[in-house]
Amino acid sequence: MSDSIHDIAIESLMKEERIFDPPEEFRKRANINSPDIYKKAEENFEAFWDELAKSELHWFEPYQKVLDWNPPYARWFDGGKINVSYNCLDRHVLSGGGDKIAYYWEGEPGDTREVTYADLLRDVKKCANALKQLGVQKGDRVAIYMPMVPELPVAMLACARIGAPHTVVFGGFSADALAGRINDSQAKVLITADGGYRKGNIVPLKKNADEALKNTSSVEKVIVLKRTGHDVDMTPGRDIWWHDIVPNQSEDCPAEPLDSEHMLYLLYTSGTTAKPKGIVHTSAGYLLGVSLTHKWIFDIKPEDVYWCAADIGWVTGHSYIVYGPLANHTTSVIYEGAPDYPGPDRWWSIIEKYKVTILYTAPTAIRAHMKWGPQHAQAHDLSSLRLLGSVGEPINPEAWLWYYKYIGGERCPVVDTWWQTETGMIMISPLPGITRLKPGSATFPFPGVQADVVDEQGNSVPPGVGGYLVLKRPWPAMLRGIYGDPDRYVQTYWSRFPDVYFSGDGAKRDEEGYFWLLGRVDDVMNVSGHRISTIEVESALVDDPRVAEAAVIGQHDEVTGEAIFAFVILKSDVEPTPELGEELRQHVARKIGPIARPKRIMFTPDLPKTRSGKIMRRLLRDIANDRQLGDTTTLADASVVELIQSATKANV
Ligand code: WT7
C-alpha cells in the first residue's frame, strides 16, 4: 500500500464545533497558566531546557554542554553525572518525603498494598544488591517479565540504580516474543514471577519464561517473584526465588553516578517489518522530558492521586507510571488487572476508593466503557477527578465527549497527548490551564518542541491539508537509536527528510494551528486518488449512537484503487440489519463527504487487537483482500480473526 499523502483538503472530518475553555478555577491554580511559556521556549530552546535541567533534576556532577546535535544523533547534558533512581527516590526521602505514598496498589483479586517512598527506596536498594550478587554490572542488560505488582517498578529502579539497562517485556506477550527480545538485548538476568492475574485467570509467566529460555543463551540467572503461588518449575542453579535473594540483602546501596547519556532502558516496539525495534533511551534527558511533561500536562500537585491505567510494559507505563511520577514525588495508583473484572465498574470503584484526581487512559478503553454503558460510572462518586488524559490513538470526538461528560462530570479538562515509544515523552498536548480544547485534537506541541506537517517534498502544508507529522528539532527524551541496528535507525526515522524526524503519522492543522492526528500513514486509504484516513471514517461511524467500535481498511478495488471496508461492532442492544448498514454508509457520507462512504460494512462481534488494544487493521486488510494473513503473534485473541474470516467468506 502506498503511503504517500496527497495534498487534498479533507473538510470537516472531526466535526465537533464546540471549544472547551479551561475552567477559571483550574486556570488560576494551574502549574502553567500563561502562554508566555511557549514564547520563552522558542526564544532560546536550549536555554529553556538548560534552566529546567538545573531546577528539576539532581546532579552528582554538572554537565558541560546542554545539547550536542550531530544529526541524527543527539547528546543531551554531556559531561553530567546523574542517577535516575536517586532522582526518583533518594532526594525525596532525604528531604523528609519518605512517608508519602508512592503507589496505592490494587491486585485484581482485591488484595491491596500501600508503598511509601521510603519503602520503595529500601526495596530498590535490596533488589539492586541482589542483582549485584548475581553478577550484574553497569551496562549489563536485565530483562523483566512481570505482572503489574510493586516489584516491577522496584526491579526497574534497581537496574537504574546500578546502571544496568532494563528491557521490560509486557506480561501479555508470548514466550516467543520474550525470547526474541532477550536474544536481541543479550540480557544476562531475567526477573519474572510465577504468574499474574487477568480476568480471574492466571497468566503463566514463569511457564512462558521457561519456554522462552529454551531458545536463548544469554540469561544466566532468573529471579522469580511469588505472586500467584501456583506450582512452577524451578531450574536448579539458574532460578532463584525473589524472597530468597532480595529481602535479606543489605539496605546499603548508594546510587551509581552515571553519565547523562548512559542507557537507561531498551523498549521493543513493532515497526513495519516483523522484527521489533529495540528503542534506546538514556538517562538525564529522558528523565527531564518525562518529569516535566508529567508535571505540566497533568498539572501535578503534591496532594494529587494520579492514575495512569496503562501497563508498565509499554512506554506509557515507563514514562508516566514509573519515571515521571516518581521524579515528581507523586502518589499514583497501580491496578493489576482487567477493567471489567469482576464487573465493568472496577475502574470507577478504584477512583472512588482512592479519591483519584487525575486519570490517564486510552481511547480504546474509553470506547469499551461506552459500550458497557455510563451507568457503571454513575454508580460511583467520581467527584475527586479534576483532569483526564488520553493517549495511544486519535480520540474520536464521541469518545472525548463521553469521557468528558460521564467520567469528568463536565468539569475536568481532557488532555489528548500525542507521542510514541520513540519520543519517550509527550510531544503534542494541551496544557490544561491555558489551552482551549477541541475534542479530537491533540492541540499544540509542548514548549520547546517543533512539530510540522509536511508534504512529500518536506514542505509545510497549509491548514486543512493532510501531510506527514515530523519533528524538526531534537528533544531531551528522544530515542538515541535502535539497539544494535544504526542503519535501521537512520532508515526508519531520518531518511525521508534530511535531519528531520519522521513520525510515521499523518496529521493536519486547522486555521488556528491545532494539530489533528490522522493515524499512521500506512493506515491511510487512497480512494479514487483521495487520501482518507481510516480513523476519520471510524470516527464518523462511532459517532452514530448505535455503533460501539469500528475498524476501517482499504480493500482493493478495480475502479477506485481502494474501497472503504468497515468492520463495525454494534452496541449490545442493537440488531444488525442491512438497513442499518445502509444508514451507516449514508451517515459517513454525510459526516465526511460521499468520497468517504464505505463501500461495504460488515457487522462483527469483535475485532482483532494487539494485547495493548490496538486494532490490527493490517490483518483486516489481509482478510478483506483475501491475502494470506501476515504475522498474527501479537494478537490478543486469535479466534477473532477466524470468526471474521469465515463471516467474510460466507457473504462475499
Ligand atoms: C503511535 C505510537 C505513546 C504511548 C502509547 C503508544 C499513536 C499515540 C496518540 C494521540 C493520535 C496517537 C500514533 C503514534 N498515538 N498517541 N494522542 N493521538 N495518535 O505508543 O506504541 O509507540 O505508538 O500511537 O500513531 O505514532 P506507541
Residue identified by cell 514466550 is 175
> If DSSP states are collapsed to H, E and C, what string results for 71-109?
CCEEEEEECCEECHHHHHHHHHHHHHHCCCEEEEEECCC
Nearest to 335 by CA among 326, 346, 325: 346
256 annotated to a ligand binding site: no
Q: Could you tell me which residues come within 8 angstroms of residue 247 by beta carbon, excluding any fewer than 6 positions away?
A: 126
419 annotated to a ligand binding site: yes
DSSP at 610: B
Cβ of 392 less than 6 Å from ligand 1: yes
pLDDT at residue number 634: 73
In this structure, the residue with its CA closest to atom 10 of ligand 1 is 418
420 annotated to a ligand binding site: yes
In this structure, the residue with its CA closest to atom 1 of ligand 1 is 420
User: For residue 453, how far is its CA from the centre of ligand 1 (angstroms)?
Assistant: 16
Q: In the structure grid, which three cell numbers stand for residue 604, read together?
A: 462483527
In this structure, the residue with its CA closest to atom 24 of ligand 1 is 392
pLDDT at residue number 389: 98
**At 170, which amino acid appears?**
F
Cβ of 517 less than 6 Å from ligand 1: yes
Q: What is the largest CA-CA distance in the chain?
A: 72
In this structure, the residue with its CA closest to atom 23 of ligand 1 is 420
Query: Which of 279, 308, 420, 422 is the best mutation target for the ligand 1 pocket, counting ligand atoms within 8 Å of the beta carbon and taking the most?
Result: 420
59 annotated to a ligand binding site: no
User: For residue 442, how far is its CA from the centre of ligand 1 (angstroms)?
Assistant: 11
Q: In the structure grid, which three cell numbers stand for residue 133, read together?
A: 550478587
- Decide: 255 and 90 in contact? Cβ < 8 Å: yes
476 annotated to a ligand binding site: no
Task: Quote the CA–CA distance of 548 and 476 in Å, as a whole number.
Answer: 39
**At 351, which amino acid appears?**
I
- Decide: 574 and 580 in contact? Cβ < 8 Å: yes
pLDDT at residue number 593: 67
- The dihedral sign for the CA sequence 45, 49, 55, 60: negative
List the beta bridge partners of residue 76: 67
Query: Which of 267, 277, 290, 393 is the best mutation target for the ligand 1 pocket, counting ligand atoms within 8 Å of the beta carbon and taking the most?
Result: 393
Residue identified by cell 531458545 is 215
- The dihedral sign for the CA sequence 287, 289, 290, 292: positive
- Decide: 220 and 237 in contact? Cβ < 8 Å: no
DSSP at 20: B
Cβ of 394 less than 6 Å from ligand 1: yes
Interior angle at CA 348, CA 346 and CA 353, nearest 5: 95
- Decide: 424 and 315 in contact? Cβ < 8 Å: yes
**Concatenated DSSP letters of 328-363:** TT-EEEEE-S-TTSSSTTHHHHHHHHHT--EEEE-H
302 annotated to a ligand binding site: no
In this structure, the residue with its CA closest to atom 18 of ligand 1 is 394
Cβ of 364 less than 6 Å from ligand 1: no
pTM of the model: 0.84
Give per-residue pLDDT as tens, 270-292: 655 546 789 999 999 999 999 99
The beta strands (E) that lie in 346-434 are given as 358-361, 387-391, 414-417
pLDDT at residue number 522: 62
Q: Is residue 499 classed exposed, middle or buried when 0-12, 13-18 and 19+ CB atoms within 10 A define those classes? A: exposed
- Decide: 321 and 84 in contact? Cβ < 8 Å: no
Q: In the structure grid, which three cell numbers stand for residue 168, read together?
A: 521490560
Cβ of 420 less than 6 Å from ligand 1: yes
| β-strands 387-391, 414-417 pairing | parallel
List the beta bridge partners of residue 68: 75
User: For residue 316, how far is its CA from the centre of ligand 1 (angstroms)?
Assistant: 10
Give per-residue pLDDT as tens, 200-241: 999 999 999 999 999 999 999 999 999 999 999 999 999 999
Query: Which of 3, 396, 517 is the best mutation target for the ligand 1 pocket, counting ligand atoms within 8 Å of the beta carbon and taking the most?
Result: 517
pLDDT at residue number 480: 98
- For residue 527, the SS3 value is strand
Cβ of 504 less than 6 Å from ligand 1: yes
* Positions in the chain short of pLDDT 70: 1-16, 270-275, 520, 522-524, 526, 528-532, 559-561, 593, 649-652
Nearest to 39 by CA among 447, 429, 511: 447
- Terminal-to-terminal C-alpha distance of the chain: 22
pLDDT at residue number 5: 35
Nearest to 329 by CA among 30, 117, 72, 627: 117
In this structure, the residue with its CA closest to atom 5 of ligand 1 is 392
- The values of phi and psi at residue 236, to 5°, are -60, 140
User: For residue 505, how far is its CA from the centre of ligand 1 (angstroms)?
Assistant: 9
Q: Could you tell me which residues come within 8 angstroms of residue 3 by beta carbon, excluding any fewer than 6 positions away?
A: 521, 522, 524
Using the atom order of ligand 1, give the atom closest to the CA of residue 315. Answer: 4
User: For residue 419, how far is its CA from the centre of ligand 1 (angstroms)?
Assistant: 5
